[in-house]
Structure 1
Amino acid sequence: MDYLAQLQQHNTLLKESLALSQKALALSQKENVLQKELIARLQAQGVQQQEQITQLQEKVEALEAEIRRLKKLPPKPDIKPNTKPPDDSDGPPGTPPATGQGDEADPDDVPKHKVSKPDESTRNQRKQPTKPPPEKSIRVPACGVPPGSTWNGTTPFYVQDLVIKPTSVEYLLDQWITPDGKTVTAKPPANLHGHHYGPTLQAYILHQYFGCGVTQPQLLEWLWDIGLSISPGELSNLITKGNEQFQSEKDEILVAGLRCSSYIQTDDTGARHQGQNGYCTIICNESFAWYATTGSKSRENFLSLLHRPFRTYAMTGNALDYLRTLKYPQKWLRVLQPYVGVTFLSYEAWKACMKEHGLTGKKRLQQASEALIYASLIEHGLGHLTTFSDGAQQFNVFKHAQCWVHAERLLYKVHPVNEQQASAQKWCRTWLWAIYDDLKAFKAEPSKENAMKGRLGFLALIQTRTNCRALQQALSGLAVIEKELLLVLEDPSLPLHNNLSESLIREYVKRRKISGGTRSEAGRQSRGHLASLKKTCRLYGLSFWDYLTDRLNGAALFPRLESLIEKASQILSCGLCSSF
């Protein structure tokens, strides 16, 4: 009995010990869970702190750059890091490098060309012109020919040369005295355009200044070197004044371009005038290029540029609908309602009418003007236009499409703080360029299958969830502009990138760096006129020199640019008369 009691007591102790062990194990497991949760929170907190540090570093760099700019110091040099050469064993562009089992790809080791970039060309480069025919032939005898040799004909050796010399012509203008004592003097030839310099010299000066980017002091020095007598003021007048015919043809370019195009590309850049900051806006596509410099880059300014060929302003229901989208106050909508159907002969008349009603606030008047110009453009038949830009909201009128290259910068600008975020960023960028390739395939072969492939791929991309807050915000930004990016699925003629306007706007960027800003209104207009005519000629592969000499000599052999745009609208994809 004593032995049995001891055995039962021993079993009881074992059970208690086992229960205590189980409790200890449960506590240990709970402690492990708490430790894992603590580690996860610490890791998340560390990632958050790294992201904050990265953002602060960006702000510090921006402030340092602003300090350098204010102190007029040279900017910090942009030195790119070294990249590893491509590995022949890697897959096609856009695929990750091969890694061993259990290894993770290091995004920093992936060459930049692994991300597929857009390869859609814009315009072909100009070709070398053919050699001019020889004006004369000069036979050159051979020297040191041994006796008994047989003559074997001649071998042509072409030489091109340029004759540069100043010439002077004296015009003797007849003078007559009328019976009433007045003097009647003959006028000089019309191709001189009121200048004391011939049309060929005028064309050469305009070509060197606007076509080749030669500065006015350097051009003046060269003219003096060859013996031409011309003052700095006369040279300035040749560049800025007497260009009325160029202004009229530039206006024709805009009218024909807007009328014959289904879409336009646009961009802007800085352009100083009279010491004040201004902006140059380009409106273009594959058939024309048109520049204008103004003091603002607002949507009202852009609409007024599109409206520039027209003079009348019509208040219609489209204007009220436009204002309702801006949540315009009902008070002012009731003021504008009675004017529906009224046509104002000028902007001044419209502004004076609104002033009588007390609509003088800067913001409200600007929005009302936007609506009026918007409705007037629709009345003039331009409601079909699609504007294609880099995403700037001042260009968001009518239908608006955005550039995929600029949209990808939302992902590119993300600064990952660890390998996981860097890998997620690389995959998102690769995915986006894969969608870009699908859209290019759709443009080549428009079909419902290709359209659905691109649309579903983009929908899957913006619904991706990552562990990087900045990358997630970038994907959300892509979701906001989904309609603008996928508008090409409704109109395959639309481009996918804004490279054309980006390359054409460089004309003003280079001029700004070479010659700075303009001082006179004539100089500002002349810069816009000649840039528009030059780049339009370049789009058709025509010689800007031939254009200038033809217009200044009055030969009228060079085709009107307006007619070229009308013909191109039947061939190019941007044309309203073309079929895609």
Structure 2
Amino acid sequence: MENESVIVQDIQIHPHNIRFERQVYYSAAQNKYFRGPLPGGYDQGDFGADLRALILSLKYCGNMSEPKIREFLENFDVQISAGSISNTLTKTADAFAGEFDAIVQAGLASTRYQQTDDTSARVDGQFWHTHILCNPFYAAYFTRPHKDRLTVLEILQNTDNLQFEFGKETLELLQAEFHIPNKWQGKLEEVGNTPFDRESLATLLDGWFDDGNQQLRTAIEQASAIVYSRHQTFVPVIETIVCDGAGQFKLLTKKLALCCPVSGKVDAGRHYEKLSPIASRHKNRLDSFLERYWDYYQSLQRYRDGPTNELAKKVTKGIRRTLFDTDGLRCARCAHCENGGEERRTANRTFRSGSSAAQQHRGASGPRERASS
């Protein structure tokens, strides 16, 4: 006869009240009491660190309202007022703000690139936007009323007080990318090398444009904010931004990269996923391409996890020869093309000549046809 171990998970929730003894000294000269400190975590009011952590978890992980949190705690004989729950949530937010800034600062410094995207959000019934800034080491979320280029610059610098800079570089950027009229180029040259905050820049532009020329005004704001972000030293300057290629992400960094696939979806790959071929041969071609597409993605993942020169060569060749091999797609069923080399070139010449062989090839594989969407 043998014994066996059986593990059953359970939980106990009950009050854990602790009484501390500390020294108290009364100073008659100052008419004031001096008390010894309590241990860390127990020196922030009448509630310990574990109880405060539970309140935060119920609120932000359990999505419970403050009245329901109080009801839950009172069911276990925890005596706490609605005001104490509210204070715990609001006062802790200030401490989290400092941690948030430290995480973003470290995250920006951890890699030469950052990935970003945004999605819609509701704040007090209004449409806002939640932005994510991340790399493999961290993720930070920012909820803002807009998702324009200035907002993205605020996020990349982790600030609400965007700064602007006029000068030669700003003028060159406006000329090259925004194509502003010569009249306003002269105005900018007159200002010279000058930094601005939002308020002072708004005052200057109000004097120039009043309520008109909104497009030109926006161009000047964006260009001067971009130039400032390149030279500021408060946060690391990002070299590459990985995004979906939307307009607000352009011009912000030296390099711009499109998103890699995530969970079967990607800004490049989702276009192929949306295709709905009708003909069976078109379906087969699409399935074959998607299989190669995600296989190539896996090779990118392997390279990211352990980059080597050999893998670098494979992924470089893969995008041309394996993924987007248009000759292979066009002549997938052509016996001549399968042999490669000169036979492939001969088949392509025959293809263009309109010969009977070309007609036979078209009938077999439909090389001119594309997948229907």
Report the TM-score, using the length of structure 2 for normalisation.
0.68
Instruction: Identify the residue that residue 195 of structure 2 maps to in structure 1.
Output: 343
1:410 equivalent to 2:271? Answer: yes
Instruction: Identify the residue that residue 298 of structure 1 maps to in structure 2.
Output: 148
Work out the CA distance in 1 between the residues paired with 2:170 and 2:137. 30
Q: CA deviation at 1:423?
A: 2.8
SS in 2 for 1:226: coil
Change (3 A) 1:449 1:267: closer
- Which of 389, 400, 415 is matched with 2:256 structurally? 400
Task: Name the aligned partner's letter for residue 427 of structure 1.
Answer: S
Task: After TM superposition, list the pairs within 5 Å mapping 1:337-486 onto structure 2.
Answer: 337-344=189-196, 346-358=197-209, 360=211, 361-380=213-232, 382-396=236-250, 397-398=252-253, 399-405=255-261, 406=266, 407-437=268-298, 439-440=300-301, 443=304, 444-446=307-309, 449-450=313-314, 452-457=316-321, 460-461=325-326, 467-468=369-370
Work out the CA distance in 1 between the residues paired with 2:245 and 2:372. 20
Supply the RMSD in Å over aligned alpha carbons: 4.0
Instruction: Identify the residue that residue 171 of structure 2 maps to in structure 1.
Output: 320
1:272 equivalent to 2:122? Answer: yes
Change (3 A) 1:228 1:428: same
- Alpha carbons 1:265, 1:389 under 8 Å: kept: yes
Q: CA deviation at 1:215?
A: 4.7
Work out the CA distance in 2 between the residues paired with 1:169 and 1:365. 64
Change (3 A) 1:338 1:412: same
Instruction: Identify the residue that residue 535 of structure 1 maps to in structure 2.
Output: none
Change (3 A) 1:430 1:393: farther
Change (3 A) 1:277 1:194: farther
Task: Name the aligned partner's letter for residue 368 of structure 1.
Answer: I
Work out the CA distance in 1 between the residues paired with 2:126 and 2:25. 48
CA deviation digits over 1:183-216, x for unaligned, max 9? 9687997967875533332222113323454454
Work out the CA distance in 1 between the residues paired with 2:153 and 2:239. 12
- Alpha carbons 1:439, 1:454 under 8 Å: kept: no
Work out the CA distance in 2 between the residues paired with 1:378 and 1:245. 30
Task: Name the aligned partner's letter for residue 314 of structure 1.
Answer: E
- Which of 80, 94, 112 is matched with 1:230 structurally? 80
- Alpha carbons 1:307, 1:373 under 8 Å: kept: no
CA deviation digits over 1:14-60, x for unaligned, max 9? xxxxxxxxxxxxxxxxxxxxxxxxxxxxxxxxxxxxxxxxxxxxxxx
Higher-Rg structure is 1
Work out the CA distance in 1 between the residues paired with 2:302 and 2:4. 52
Task: After TM superposition, list the pairs within 5 Å mapping 1:22-421 onto structure 2.
Answer: 162=12, 164-165=14-15, 167=17, 196-309=46-159, 312-330=163-181, 331-344=183-196, 346-358=197-209, 360=211, 361-380=213-232, 382-396=236-250, 397-398=252-253, 399-405=255-261, 406=266, 407-421=268-282
Q: CA deviation at 1:286?
A: 2.0
Work out the CA distance in 2 between the residues paired with 1:198 and 1:441. 46
Change (3 A) 1:365 1:220: farther
Change (3 A) 1:347 1:466: farther
Work out the CA distance in 1 between the residues paired with 2:298 and 2:147. 33
Task: Name the aligned partner's letter for residue 241 of structure 2.
Answer: T
- Alpha carbons 2:118, 2:131 under 8 Å: kept: yes
Higher relative contact order (CA closer than 8 Å, sequence separation 6+): 1
SS in 2 for 1:368: helix
Work out the CA distance in 2 between the residues paired with 1:242 and 1:174. 30
Work out the CA distance in 1 between the residues paired with 2:167 and 2:368. 48
CA deviation digits over 1:268-325, x for unaligned, max 9? 2222212211111111112222221111122221111112347643334443344345
Instruction: Identify the residue that residue 356 of structure 2 maps to in structure 1.
Output: none
- Alpha carbons 1:424, 1:466 under 8 Å: kept: no
Work out the CA distance in 2 between the residues paired with 1:439 and 1:466. 31
- Alpha carbons 1:195, 1:238 under 8 Å: kept: no
Change (3 A) 1:163 1:232: closer
Alignment identity in percent?
22
SS in 2 for 1:278: strand
Change (3 A) 1:455 1:260: same
Q: CA deviation at 1:356?
A: 2.4
Length, aligned pairs only? 314
Q: CA deviation at 1:163?
A: 6.0
Work out the CA distance in 1 between the residues paired with 2:98 and 2:151. 21
CA deviation digits over 1:465-504, x for unaligned, max 9? 7523756xxxxxxxxxxxxxxxxxxxxxxxxxxxxxxxxx
- Alpha carbons 2:132, 2:142 under 8 Å: kept: yes
Instruction: Identify the residue that residue 338 of structure 2 maps to in structure 1.
Output: none
Change (3 A) 1:430 1:317: farther
SS in 2 for 1:228: coil
SS in 2 for 1:272: strand
Work out the CA distance in 1 between the residues paired with 2:292 and 2:7. 55
Compare the two structures and name the one with the higher strand fraction: 2
Work out the CA distance in 1 between the residues paired with 2:226 and 2:43. 39
SS in 1 for 2:109: helix
Change (3 A) 1:174 1:442: closer
Change (3 A) 1:410 1:321: farther
Task: After TM superposition, list the pairs within 5 Å mapping 1:487-506 onto structure 2.
Answer: none
- Alpha carbons 1:390, 1:403 under 8 Å: kept: yes
Change (3 A) 1:359 1:223: same
